[in-house]
Amino acid sequence: MTVRPPGNFGSFDPTRSGLAVLEYELMEERASALGRHGQAVEKAIAALNKGEREGLGTEEHERLIDTAAEAVWGFFVHRETCGLHNSEEIIREYGIPGKVLARLGAKPRHAEPAGSTADFGGSKR
């Protein structure tokens, strides 16, 4: 009498395991979040360019630069965590100006107006 293992032992597919499914979903979420960060950078750079064309006052212009720098910094950090280390191409593709790059990671120069979206629980800057 010959003993044979059940057929499902020999047909294990690691791509269908729970871990592979979870890793795939995490990768999907990382890509989606990276896309949202990219859109935030586009929006902030567009607002800065529009403000410069319209000749906004100095303080409002500084706020736009701070907002753009914060969006770009978050995008760069997220790219780094995803293993994407080359930012030069992104700087060219998004048209990120040097004045924004100079403020990456720096504390904003001007406090946001009360009630703005950047006011996190009334914290003082």
* Amino acid symbol at 77: V
d(CA 37, CA 23): 21
From residue 99, give the alpha-carbon distance in Å to each of 60, 76, 113.
15, 16, 22
Nearest Cα residue to 91 out of 101, 102, 99: 101
Residue type, position 74, single letter? G
- Cβ burial of 113 (10 Å; 0-12, 13-18, 19+) is exposed
Domain boundaries, the chain: 18-101
Largest CA distance in the chain: 91
pLDDT attached to residue 22? 86
What is the structure's pLDDT at 17? Answer: 72
- Grouping H, G, I as helix, E, B as strand and the rest as coil, residue 97 is coil
Per-residue pLDDT of the chain (125 residues; tens, 9 = 90+): 666 665 555 555 666 677 888 888 988 998 999 999 999 999 999 999 999 998 888 889 999 999 999 999 999 999 998 888 888 999 999 999 999 999 998 877 766 654 554 443 444 43
CB-based burial, 58-91: b 16+ in 10 Å, e otherwise? eeebbbbbbbbbbbbbebbebbeeeeeeebeebb
